[in-house]
Amino acid sequence: MHIETPANPTLKVSDIKTIAALVHDHNPEAVVSVDNTFNSPFNVRPLNLGADIVIESLTKYINGHGDALGGAIATTKERTDQIRFTAQVNYGGIISPFNAWLINRGSVTLPLRMRQHNASALAIAQHLESLPQVRFVAYPGLESHPHHDVAVSQLARPDAGFGGVLAFGLDTDHDGHNRFVSKLNVITSAVSLGHDESLIVFLGEDDERQYLYPEEFHRGFFRLAVGLEDTDDLIRDIDHALAEAGLA
């Protein structure tokens, strides 16, 4: 059983502890893996919630600067040895030395960076939720999120949060979405997350995965990966872009 939580890009939250218990009760030999990239190990520790394997994209929050590629799997030593042998023999699964050095250097500041990602994303989500031209905001840190209580129950530490990624929809058409993005100055239009730079991507009405999304996503929506810029600067950038796009 594989879980991605929060789900990309809808930000649905899965109850890792409950799912792991159900799977293991049904078959003690079954393996539950969790993609924890959106949370990072600072916010959520799936192994402590019953998962057998945790997958992290080192490219994202753990490196934190958008300049290296890597991935990691955390599990038992026995399972790690099996995975390592298979990967190295069949795929040559060895990260480049320079990427490894960059990721190792970036990981040192993970707690500091995650606190800022968490705080800014929550503040921006709350601000967006207050705007009449915003149709919906999906962020687990909001009390309005349908899985907020589950997200809270999974936090690994008192100062943990809900990550830096949120989704929102504007009450406009395709041209309005394009105008909004074109007026952003601080936030960059690009596809990634977990970087020092805030990145936004529009997923339009013609997205082939629409059938997987809740109804409110069907008119197109933005995925915003909040970076490390000043929180107020990001909020001002959004407000300015809405005004310049004629959506305020």
For the stretch 12-37, pLDDT in tens is: 999 999 999 999 999 999 999 999 99
Contacts of 198 by beta carbon, 8 Å cutoff, 6+ apart: 186, 187, 188, 224, 225, 226, 227, 229, 234
Taking 90 as the threshold, does the pLDDT of residue 204 lie above it? no
CA contacts within 13 A on the Cβ side of 89 = 6
Burial 66-91 (b: 16+ CB within 10 A, else e): bebebeeebbeeeeeeeeeeeeeeee
CA atoms in the 13 A half-sphere facing the CB of 231: 15
Distance CA 88, CA 98 (A): 19
Architecture of domain 2-100: 3-Layer(aba) Sandwich (3.40)
Inter-residue contact 65 to 110 (CB < 8 Å): no
Looking at the chain, which residues constitute the CATH 3.40.640.10 domain(s)?
A: 2-100
pLDDT confidence bin for 213, thresholds 50/70/90: confident
More confident residue, 239 or 208: 239
Q: Which residue has the higher pLDDT, 93 or 226?
A: 226
- The pLDDT confidence band at residue 208, using thresholds 50, 70 and 90, is low
* Per-residue pLDDT at 91: 79
- Residue 84 is predicted with a pLDDT of 83
Higher pLDDT, 88 or 241: 241
Q: Is residue 212's pLDDT more than 80?
A: no
pLDDT exceeds cutoff 90 at 94: no
pTM: 0.93
CA distance linking residue 208 with residue 219, whole number of Å: 13
For domain 109-245, the CATH superfamily is: Aspartate Aminotransferase, domain 1 (3.90.1150.10)
Percentage of the chain modeled with pLDDT above 90: 85
Residues of the chain with CATH 3.90.1150.10: 109-245
Confidence of residue 215 (pLDDT cuts 50, 70, 90): confident
